[in-house]
């Protein structure tokens, strides 16, 4: 395994940590009792109020997913190119 592969794997790990932390900040952990009568906009507003830090969680979740996807694609391309060169 080369240095670049190790850095890509470290980046994948960090992006997974960012996605999990973002999700934990984004979601509000309260029981959802009788919320079927609420509209979508009301549910979204309640989620924003109950979340620890909705904006930061949303950013970490989306940034973590974007970085994870990019690094995974880069790692797969490197592996495919290695197989093709052999």
Helices within 1-86 (DSSP H only):
3-26, 40-50, 54-85
The whole-number average pLDDT for the span 55-74 is 95
Q: What confidence score (pLDDT) does residue 6 get? A: 92
Q: Collect all residues with Cβ–Cβ distance below 8 Å to 41 and sequence separation of at least 6.
A: none
pLDDT, residue 39, reads: 82
pLDDT at 74 over 90: yes
Single pTM value for the model = 0.78
The string of pLDDT tens digits covering residues 8-52 is 999 999 999 999 999 999 987 776 676 677 788 887 888 888 888
Please report the pLDDT score of residue 32 as a whole number. Answer: 66
């Amino acid at each position: 395994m080369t240095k670049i592969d190790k850095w890509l794997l470290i980046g994948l790990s960090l992006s997974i940590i960012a996605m999990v932390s973002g999700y934990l900040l984004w979601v509000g952990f309260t029981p959802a009792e009788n919320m079927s009568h609420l509209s979508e906009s009301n549910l979204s507003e309640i989620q924003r109020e109950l979340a620890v830090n909705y904006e930061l969680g949303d950013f970490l979740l989306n940034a973590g997913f974007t970085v994870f996807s990019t690094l995974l694609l880069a790692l797969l391309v490197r592996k495919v190119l290695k197989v093709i060169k052999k």
